[in-house]
Structure 1
């Protein structure tokens, strides 16, 4: 079996990401500190419509990263064709273990195996260049600014509930300049009208009800 070797992500000369199609998802994980301790937030954001999905884990690690990828695949209403991550051990093996004799013994990283299973291309940022995963970095920062940097929470569950509410509002009510003042959901709905073949479900089923 040929192992998938993730390719490094590149940017244009102007520092912008090259244009791509819907289904190119940036994934990252960050720590949220709280008076009661800390929790890890995993985040996936599509490069094109900016639609975002998050989950929480007690620990960061490759098993949770692979589980999060599977949940993100289920959450997005269309096929994810490419995933961009950093070079952290949650997403990729050490460079010395990716190719050569060591790869025979180590095998493909579980995150990479999950990508292969779902037909997803896994790309990595350049080592020591975290800003090349800028969309995920910025969204993580936006979430922190809107939550833990602005409010005090009585417990972890209150923090998690606020983060989820913020992301829902962002997806369905935040009009973005980058999307010509559409919301991420409106951008997805527009993509549905132009190319429904890439979708697994009609995105209108994503619209939250009054009790969600």
Structure 2
């Protein structure tokens, strides 16, 4: 055998720390075992340490070519690993109750980091990726073009009394002003592909109000160059009415409703609801409902035109809607 072979340093390595490919290891080992090279000479020729040359030569003597494959770096024994019966208890609680690491740790009197490591080791999905009702992994999707599907929903929101609520006055004083403030209803429409949102704060969730909202929302999407093909709603009474059905039919739009008790099906608008609560509704201690409402148009403009969206690789919804009015303001 000719051992004077030029090993290709640009060859694909099994991992980033490996000095040799499996072929290079085999050549080195044969030079030592079969052709009688010294460890130092082989190490210099293949640009590794004598210790490395000795290891591969030893494996070749013991196992032949099979010994040239990578071995797992996992230790043979892990005396400090969480006991198997404890791991089973952790997994059982997670599957049956769908709790996070902190709650499981509290129940089983463990360290939350330990629980987290066990859940990760067994590949259990994060709670945010699960359907809480069934425990199944939620299948994420995104429509291919704007208007293919628009999510519509209503978010009921308690009004802020004049003078401010508990965020402005503190918990104790805020209780005294809370009664009689009433509620607002945020009617929201979010395009599935672009996440472009149209929203209005209205007085109720009656069918006439919902239809009026959709008429204006449809006009908004049309001005942005979006042709709405399908609308997805929950099973609220206003969306089950003949008035709602007929108003969509007149526009040539098909209507789809979510399965009962499955709000994640309408997840795009549900996520929008959560964002507006965090970044507008409860973002600061407003002194009145009028003050909060006055801040809404500016926030909605920021959401559509300037706020980076994680699902859009950090770009705002306007980046996917070239015809959107005011995109560059």
How many Å separate the matches in 2 of 1:80 and 1:74?
Answer: 10
Of 126, 129, 145, the residue aligned with 1:21 is 145
- 2:216 paired with 1:71: yes
- Secondary structure of the 2:271 match is helix
Name the larger-Rg structure: 2
Q: Which runs of 5+ in 2 are unaligned?
A: 1-136, 162-180
Q: Does 1:83 align with 2:83?
A: no
* Among 137, 144, 159, the residue aligned to 2:277: 144
Between 1 and 2, higher relative CO (CA 8 Å, sep ≥ 6) is seen in: 1
Partner of 1:42: 187
* Cα displacement (A) at 1:116: 0.4
Q: Distance in 2 between matches of 1:204 and 1:62?
A: 29
In terms of fraction of residues, the more strand-rich structure is 1
1:207 is aligned to 2:327: yes
Equivalent residue pairs, number: 170
Matching residue of 1:104: none
Cα contact 2:142–2:193 (8 A) shared by 1? no
Q: Is the 8 A contact 2:153 2:187 kept in 1?
A: yes
Give SS of 1:163's match: helix
State the alpha-carbon separation in 1 of the partners of residues 186 and 138 from structure 2.
30
**After TM superposition, which residue ranges in structure 1, 4 or more long, deviate above 4 angstroms?**
none
**How many Å apart are 1:26 and its aligned residue?**
0.3
Per the TM alignment, residue 14 of structure 1 is displaced from its structure 2 partner at its CA by: 5.1
Note the residue ranges of structure 1 that are not aligned, 5 or more in a row.
1-12, 94-108, 190-202
Stretch of structure 1 that moved more, 13-22 or 66-75: 13-22
What is the match of residue 84 of structure 2?
A: none
Deviation per CA, 1:148-180, whole angstroms, max 9, x where unpaired? 323222222221122221111011001223223
Kept in 1: contact 2:146–2:192 (CA 8 A): yes
Deviation at 1:205, TM superposition (A): 3.0
Supply the distance in 1 between the matched residues of 2:150 and 2:302 (Cα, whole angstroms): 19
TM (norm. structure 2) is 0.49
Q: 2:312: which partner in 1?
A: 179
Using the TM superposition, give the Cα deviation of residue 204 of structure 1 relative to its aligned residue in structure 2, in angstroms: 4.8
CA distance in 2, matches of 1:140, 1:33: 14
Structure 2 CA distance for partners of 1:176 and 1:148, relative to 1, 3 Å = closer
